[in-house]
Chains A and B, each alone.
Chain A
Amino acid sequence: MRHALALATARVLAAAARRRGGGATSLPGLAALKLDPGFIRRRSRRLAGSVVVTGTNGKTTTARFLGAAFGAAGRSVVHNQSGSNLLRGIASTLAAARLPSSGRKPWGVLEVDEATVPGACRELRPRVVVVTNLFRDQLDRYGELKRTAEYLRTGLASLPKSSTVVLNADDPLVASLGKGLKCRVRYYGIEDVSRSRPSLPHAADAVSDPKSGALLRYEAVFVGHLGHYRGTSLRRPKPQVRLTAFRTGGAVEVRSGRQTVGLTLKLPGTYNAYNALAALAAAEAAGIDVAKAAEAVSATTAAFGRQESVEVGGRAVRIGLIKNPTGADEVIRTLAEAPGKKRILVLINDNFADGRDVSWLWDTDFETLRGRTERIAVGGLRGRDMALRLKYAGFPTGDLPRYGSVEEALREELRQVPEGGTLDVLPTYTAMLELRRTLAQAGHVKHFLD
């Protein structure tokens, strides 16, 4: 009874929000949880099972890959792709989904904020939890990286034997979460070292052995502190799902057990290879054939703001979300490695959802873009800080264009792009939402993804 009332209330609120022109919000879920604190637990019984996707970077893309894999296996999914990744957002998503009491049940693919993992594990009892990586992000909210790891440890420790935890073997902090769990643990990682970088980037964290304090030794570094490491008390676990070869044109070879599958990733960058591996390992843990999952991942394009390209009046606007130094470094490196000089617009906000602290800009290697830009401009609430960062990265900033509003920045910078050209926009999270709104108002993209 309480549950039915909670569900009805959430749906009425969601419908009202839609009429006002908004999209999925956390309000319906918040109301549902108020009326029925067990709402998620009860509602999730109508799912065949759920996969929780968590970690600092790559949640959205991994979940998107995973959704495609379930689709290829003939299973429908419920995914909180445009909602929040806190409990209230999950509740909103579950309230909005049509979950009939009979027939084939859909799977839940739920992105979950790291601090929400204990609650999500308790309420959802997920069949699979996949952890992508732990980087320095939003530290102003959580305090320290190790505290974030503690949230995950608490959540994972509560999982029953029948669950599977899928961990990134190449992230020492994430891999260490696999110790002492009741449930099954699977690791994924990159074996082919041909794309590794010579040393750890400035943005790397968690580089010392938890027991001895000695710095970890790396034989290969792929992204941030992800790579082949060895400490005095810890060692990289051998991954069961592993990328064995990078080939040209986004093609990669992945092995799981004795099975070898080929993928062609539409999304650039080593970090997207990690997202694909995470999705394959999680799909396999959910009972999907790896070859089928690989095919689906190969056909998947970018989620909004994750290297997605939008056409605007014969010009492309390519959006690469930046929100922390490691993620931003990878977006920048991928951009710098593409041929030709770029036109770049960096939009930095410091709203709550972005993290109020912009000091991460100084841990990010904007220097990589030097000599590779035709033009660079800045905007957002902290556009000034970004201009300053570029000055100290060695860019001439005397006449650097600096904009107040996202709309103005986009309009003016697009004017500088010749027909057929590309404007690369690097926004923080809330700047990306503003950008999306601006593009939607001009009719270039839909308002929300669902």
Chain B
Amino acid sequence: MHLRIAHLYPRRMSIYGDRGNVTTLVRRARWRDIAVSVDEVEREDALEAKRYDLFFFGGGQDQEQDTVARDLAKKGPGIREAIRGGAAALAVCGGYQLFGRYYQPAEADRLAGIGIFDAHTEAGPRRFIGNVTATPEADGLGGIPLVGFENHSGLTFLGGTARPLAVVRTGHGNNGHDKTEGCVAGSAVGTYLHGSLLPKNPHLADWLLLRALRRRHTDLPGLRPLDDALEQDVNESLAGRAA
């Protein structure tokens, strides 16, 4: 078995340790003897989106996000097609915003998103910064808390057809009002949680891995369990600290 990951715009959109998510996906696949390749895709590169089982898209600063949004006008349709065709995705913070319909900054032109999620984002008056604990809503996550660190001023609002990833217990989540955090569409997950997110939420890492692998191995029954004592310990201690 072989897993192909596309890391979107790692040089421009990779702050707050988002790279750790890719490290985690790679390690957890290799520990199970699944071969993995990661292609880093920048504006300067061509993207053959249908080759990939999983897309990772991290957060960035405003200027970089602007550059990337322009390039996504070209690469977006391919990515959307691939995700509709069963590829998994994890988009964090700025990446999450651009996977929605649009992002409206405070004093600049609206950035078009690629509409994976029925959601839009507007610049907010303040920055939400701090630890987050949220209870997942999506199937297959067993209700085990998601823990991470948010740092955003954009407020994301889910549309009528969108499903949230989780309900916030501590922290602000999508917009600080409706208690939702992130979004799920098919096998694509959007979230504001840095941390890095996946190492301390191995259940979400495996959720993504399984769906990514099933794109081409539809009969795959499940993933071999790993010794996650340390991961669970970190998850529980953070969830406990927040409680």
Measured CB to CB, the residues of A under 8 A from B are: 136, 139-140, 143-146, 200, 202, 204-205, 207-208, 210, 213-215, 356-363, 384-385, 387-389, 391-392, 394, 397
Scan B4-25; emit 1 where CB is below 8 A from any A CB, else 0: 0000000110111111100110
The reply to whether B12 and A139 form a contact with Cβ atoms under 8 Å apart is no
Q: Which 3 A-B pairs have the closest CB atoms?
A: A362-B20, A359-B17, A362-B17
- Mark out the residues of chain B between 136 and 155 whose CB falls within 8 Å of any chain A CB in the assembled complex: 149, 151, 153
Provide the residues of chain B in CB contact with A144, threshold 8 Å.
61-62
Cα distance, A143 to B20, chains bound together (Å)? 20
- Mark out the residues of chain B between 185 and 205 whose CB falls within 8 Å of any chain A CB in the assembled complex: 194-196, 199-200
* Sampled A-B contacts (21; CB under 8 Å): A139-B16, A143-B151, A145-B61, A146-B61, A208-B11, A210-B63, A356-B130, A357-B151, A359-B20, A359-B149, A359-B196, A362-B196, A363-B20, A384-B237, A387-B230, A387-B234, A388-B231, A389-B199, A392-B20, A392-B24, A397-B230
Chain B CB count within 10 A is highest, among A204, A205, A358, A388, for A388
Cα distance, A214 to B64, chains bound together (Å)? 10
Provide the residues of chain A in CB contact with B43, threshold 8 Å.
213-215
The reply to whether A392 and B200 form a contact with Cβ atoms under 8 Å apart is no
User: Looking at the complex, which one of A204, A205, A357 makes contact with B194 (CB distance below 8 Å)?
Assistant: A357
- Mark out the residues of chain B between 10 and 59 whose CB falls within 8 Å of any chain A CB in the assembled complex: 11-12, 14-20, 23-24, 27, 42-44
Provide the residues of chain B in CB contact with A389, threshold 8 Å.
20, 199
The reply to whether B199 and A362 form a contact with Cβ atoms under 8 Å apart is yes
Provide the residues of chain B in CB contact with A215, threshold 8 Å.
11-12, 42-44
Chain B interface residue bracket vs A: 35 or more
Provide the residues of chain B in CB contact with A143, threshold 8 Å.
127, 151, 153
- Mark out the residues of chain B between 161 and 180 whose CB falls within 8 Å of any chain A CB in the assembled complex: none
Cα distance, A200 to B19, chains bound together (Å)? 15
Q: A208-B64, A357-B151 are in contact. Are A388 and B15 (CB under 8 A)?
A: no
Scan B225-243; emit 1 where CB is below 8 A from any A CB, else 0: 0000011011001000000
Provide the residues of chain B in CB contact with A136, threshold 8 Å.
15
Scan B52-86; emit 1 where CB is below 8 A from any A CB, else 0: 00000000011110110010000000000000000
CB distance from B216 to the nearest CB of A (A): 26
Q: A215-B42, A388-B200 are in contact. Are A362 and B12 (CB under 8 A)?
A: no
Cα distance, A139 to B44, chains bound together (Å)? 28
Q: Does B129 contact A (CB under 8 A)?
A: yes
Question: Besides A357-B16, A359-B196, A388-B230, 12 other CB < 8 A contacts?
Answer: A144-B62, A146-B63, A213-B63, A213-B67, A215-B11, A358-B149, A359-B194, A360-B16, A362-B196, A384-B230, A387-B234, A392-B27
The reply to whether A207 and B11 form a contact with Cβ atoms under 8 Å apart is yes
Measured CB to CB, the residues of B under 8 A from A are: 11-12, 14-20, 23-24, 27, 42-44, 61-64, 66-67, 70, 127, 129-131, 149, 151, 153, 194-196, 199-200, 230-231, 233-234, 237
Provide the residues of chain B in CB contact with A140, threshold 8 Å.
129-130, 149, 151
- A398 closest partner in B (C-beta): B227
User: Looking at the complex, which one of A139, A208, A392, A394 makes contact with B63 (CB distance below 8 Å)?
Assistant: A208
Q: A359-B20, A362-B23, A363-B17 are in contact. Are A385 and B151 (CB under 8 A)?
A: no
Chain A CB count within 10 A is highest, among B19, B20, B62, B127, for B20
- A146 closest partner in B (C-beta): B61
Cα distance, A360 to B149, chains bound together (Å)? 11
Cα distance, A200 to B237, chains bound together (Å)? 35
Provide the residues of chain A in CB contact with B23, threshold 8 Å.
362, 392
CB distance from A243 to the nearest CB of B (A): 27
The reply to whether B12 and A207 form a contact with Cβ atoms under 8 Å apart is yes
Provide the residues of chain A in CB contact with B230, threshold 8 Å.
384, 387-388, 391, 397
Provide the residues of chain A in CB contact with B62, threshold 8 Å.
144, 146
Chain B CB count within 10 A is highest, among A146, A205, A394, for A205
CB distance from A322 to the nearest CB of B (A): 14
Provide the residues of chain B in CB contact with A139, threshold 8 Å.
15-16, 151
Provide the residues of chain B in CB contact with A146, threshold 8 Å.
61-63
Provide the residues of chain B in CB contact with A200, threshold 8 Å.
11
- B42 closest partner in A (C-beta): A215
Cα distance, A204 to B237, chains bound together (Å)? 31
The reply to whether B66 and A213 form a contact with Cβ atoms under 8 Å apart is yes
Provide the residues of chain A in CB contact with B234, threshold 8 Å.
384-385, 387-388
- B70 closest partner in A (C-beta): A213
Provide the residues of chain B in CB contact with A205, threshold 8 Å.
15
- B152 closest partner in A (C-beta): A143
CB distance from A64 to the nearest CB of B (A): 30
Provide the residues of chain B in CB contact with A356, threshold 8 Å.
129-131, 149
- B68 closest partner in A (C-beta): A213
CB distance from A365 to the nearest CB of B (A): 10
The reply to whether A360 and B199 form a contact with Cβ atoms under 8 Å apart is no
Cα distance, A389 to B23, chains bound together (Å)? 10
Q: A139-B151, A143-B153, A208-B67 are in contact. Are A202 and B61 (CB under 8 A)?
A: no
Cα distance, A222 to B169, chains bound together (Å)? 44
Cα distance, A385 to B234, chains bound together (Å)? 6
Provide the residues of chain A in CB contact with B17, threshold 8 Å.
359-363
Cα distance, A397 to B27, chains bound together (Å)? 14
Cα distance, A361 to B234, chains bound together (Å)? 14
- A385 closest partner in B (C-beta): B234
CB distance from A444 to the nearest CB of B (A): 32
CB distance from A320 to the nearest CB of B (A): 20
Cα distance, A200 to B194, chains bound together (Å)? 22
